[in-house]
A and B are shown apart, each in its own frame.
Chain A
Amino acid sequence: MIASRGRLPEDRTTGWGLDRVTVRFGRLTALERVSLGVGAGAVTAVIGADAAGKTTLLRVLVGAVRPSEGRVRRPEKRQVGYMSAGSGTYGDLTVDENLAFAARAYGLSRGVARSRIGELLDRTDLMAARRRLAGLLSGGMRQKLALAVAIVHEPELVVLDEPTTGVDPVSRAELWRLIAELAAAGTAVLMATTYVDEAERAGSVLVLLRGRPLALGTPEEIRRAVPGELYELGGRIDDWRAWRRAGRWRVWSPDGRAPEGARLIEPDLEDGLVMAQLAYEASQPEVAA
């Protein structure tokens, strides 16, 4: 773990997860010593920019990528549900056919499949669209179908790669309700996201920066892990630790001292991520400033 001091919840490796996993693709290190626990009955989020290593991490957990180093704890294949980024449904099959295909692939009996598909169509509000081609659904509906396909066999571990990216807010709220229902029913859920407000909804969060773990813990723990204080300023100051947010300037003060005219504020997760990255960059001699 980098750029944070004090207690690091690295021992929180209950349930499924990764233990000091490194993944190299040729000369490129996609993941470097990443540990993460994915507990049952909870939503765990991994957040990072494009190319931060989120998809690689998810693929390691589901067994599609073999780590170069480290260990992976996952249930047997039948108990894993995986929704890849950009869907994973067949556009030229109907909603029904997509679900039936997945049910058959997992060996569900015809009777079980029928009742399970009915239940999923109901929960995802896709009943009225069941005979439509998946390729003709709106983005939000297609993502709900992809989620239903990933959980048709009632897996213990559900892994979702950016299920809500680019989806309209109403569909996103519905997807989140489905995800919360899974967790409420005891499923272990791991999801990747680029949205901070979405990570804030998860029980615990792993922050990836260029393949490395920048922070891990509850949103609360992450915002408290960076040393120093956060201040809001009346106007702009020339300091690389200052940034603009919602029309005002904020500055991270590592030693806690208040700049002139500044007001102490409580960081939220977004501030915490900015501060963690600033702290990390300060620790890297060649990119500081």
Chain B
Amino acid sequence: MSQMATMAVSRRFGAEYAVREVAMAVEPGEVVGLLGANGAGKTTLIRLALGLLRPTAGTVTLFGSPPSRDTRRRLGYVPQSLGLYEDLTVAENLAFAARAFGHRVVAARLDPEIRASARVLVRDLSLGLRRRVAFAAALAHDPELLVLDEPTSGVEPLARARLWETVRAGAERGAGVLATTHHMSEASECDRLVVMVSGRVVASGSAAAIMGGMQTVVVTAVRWEDAFAALDDRGLPVALVGRRLRIPDRPAADVDAALRGAEVEARLEVVPATFEEAFVALARQKVA
């Protein structure tokens, strides 16, 4: 099958590049995660992908042609703001979206909780349910490409898992998915990642490939405060986790030496790094 979306673009606002020489593609049935902090350029890239913004340089291709009203019909988009009408009911919002895409709402396809809230104004729904209604509105026309801007921001773990299940079900039907997140822990929900810092792609590929087997030294000390001070003073990138300390991407021998130098007694253990730790180490290497 052909690619759902390909782009090789830059976008400038005034003198500032929001997106700089970013090349990426989304294949059918694949969930691509776009990771980065607020201001990294994720939303600009998504707006370029949708054809809502024109690139300063480069091109965007959706289903083999430039973005247009025709390609929009084959897309499902959930913006960060959800794009629902707060003063309309759930049923009215779904009917409006269906009409825009030229089809009818099929109640049987809706999840029971949404069906039960059909006559409730969107503004009276919980934030979690509001998000699910936005998903239902964007997915009802079986889009071939699903674009989600921060789909799980501000929801609890169970609701987040449910939203990812919906995303994955779309991918299993063959849709390509492009989703932004600033939750590094959600890297594991994606097949492939594109990591952005200041408008540029700093890493891409599977989470495992990006992490490259990076390891973290875990320190357990009787007094974590002393161990923390000793490692912090030596400039080691130490993080407190509960009462343990984690030092990613540094040899255990360095950590050991720093602790011995300060006469702090501690137990060391080497474990796989988390994705966030790997990301921080990567970003620091780029800066250095």
Interface 1/0 per residue, B219-234 and A, CB below 8 Å: 0000011001100100
- Tell me, yes or no, whether B189 is within 8 Å of chain A by CB: yes
Asked if A49 and B240 sit within 8 Å, CB to CB, the answer is no
Contacts of A245 in B (CB 8 A): 161, 188-189
| Complex contact B156–A168 (CB within 8 A) | no
Main secondary structure of the interface of B (DSSP, over half): helix
Point out the residue from A166, A176, A274 that lies within 8 Å of B158, measured CB to CB. A274
B238 cross-chain contacts in A, Cβ below 8 A: 177, 180
Within 8 Å by CB of A166, from B37, B185, B232, B279, lies B37
CB within 8 Å of B: which A94-147 residues:
138-140
Name the B residues within 8 Å of A196 (CB-CB): 157, 185
Residues of A within 8 A of B157 (CB): 196, 270, 273-274, 277
Assess the B232–A177 pair: CB atoms within 8 A.
yes
A243 and B274: CB pair below 8 A?
Answer: no
Q: Is A50 an interface residue (CB 8 A)?
A: yes
Contacts of A184 in B (CB 8 A): 224-225, 228-229, 240
Q: Does B168 contact A (CB under 8 A)?
A: yes
**Which of A56-64, A67-75, A200-208, A225-233 contacts its partner?**
A200-208
Contact (Cβ within 8 A) A176 B280: no
The answer to whether A246 touches B183 (Cβ under 8 A) is no
Is A244 located at the chain interface by the 8 A CB criterion?
yes
CA gap between A171 and B39 in the complex, in Å: 13
Residues on B with beta carbons closer than 8 Å to the beta carbon of A173 = 237, 239, 280
Are the CB atoms of A244 and B232 closer together than 8 Å?
Answer: no
Given A166-B38, A168-B40, A173-B239: A278 in contact with B154 (beta carbons within 8 A): no
Closest residue on chain B to residue A184 by CB atoms: B225
**Given A209-B156, A246-B189 in contact, is the A169-B239 Cβ separation under 8 Å?**
no
B3 to chain A, nearest CB (A): 22
Using a Cβ–Cβ cut-off of 8 Å, how many residues does chain A contribute to the interface with B? 48
The answer to whether B165 has its CB under 8 Å from any CB of chain A is: yes
The smallest C-beta distance from B115 to any residue of chain A, in angstroms, reads: 14
B126 within 8 A of A: yes
Closest residue of chain A to B165 (Cβ to Cβ) is: A244
Question: How far, in whole Å, are A140 and B40 apart by their CA atoms in the complex?
Answer: 11
* Complex: A244 Cα to B164 Cα, angstroms: 8
B243 within 8 A of A: yes
Nearest CB of A to B134, in Å = 14
A266 vs B242: C-alpha distance when bound (angstroms): 18
Residues facing B in A18-72 (CB within 8 A) are 41, 43, 48-52
- Please determine whether B279 and A169 come into contact, CB atoms closer than 8 angstroms: yes
CB B181 to nearest CB in A, in angstroms, measures 11
B128 touches A180 (CB 8 A): no
The yes or no answer to A285 lying at the interface (CB within 8 A) is no
Are A195 and B185 neighbours in the complex by a CB distance under 8 Å?
Answer: yes
B151-165 Cβ-contact flags toward A at 8 Å (1 or 0)? 001111111011011
Cα-based distance from A50 to B40 in the complex (angstroms): 23
Q: Are B127 and A51 in contact (CB under 8 A)?
A: yes
If A48-B156, A195-B183 touch, whether A200 touches B242 (CB-CB below 8 Å) is yes
Q: Is there contact, CB below 8 Å, between B184 and A50?
A: no
- With contacts A168-B37, A246-B189 taken as known, whether A274 is within 8 angstroms of B154 at the C-beta atoms is no
Contacts A170-B280, A243-B162, A277-B158 supplied; 12 other A-B pairs, CB < 8 Å: A43-B240, A51-B126, A52-B156, A168-B283, A173-B237, A176-B239, A181-B228, A184-B225, A200-B241, A201-B240, A201-B242, A270-B157
**Top-3 shortest CB links A-B:** A168-B37, A50-B154, A246-B188
* Interchain Cβ contacts under 8 Å between A and B, 29 examples: A41-B225, A43-B240, A50-B153, A139-B39, A166-B38, A167-B37, A168-B197, A169-B37, A169-B280, A170-B284, A171-B37, A173-B239, A177-B238, A179-B240, A180-B228, A183-B240, A184-B228, A197-B184, A197-B185, A200-B241, A200-B242, A201-B240, A201-B241, A201-B242, A218-B242, A243-B162, A244-B165, A277-B157, A277-B158
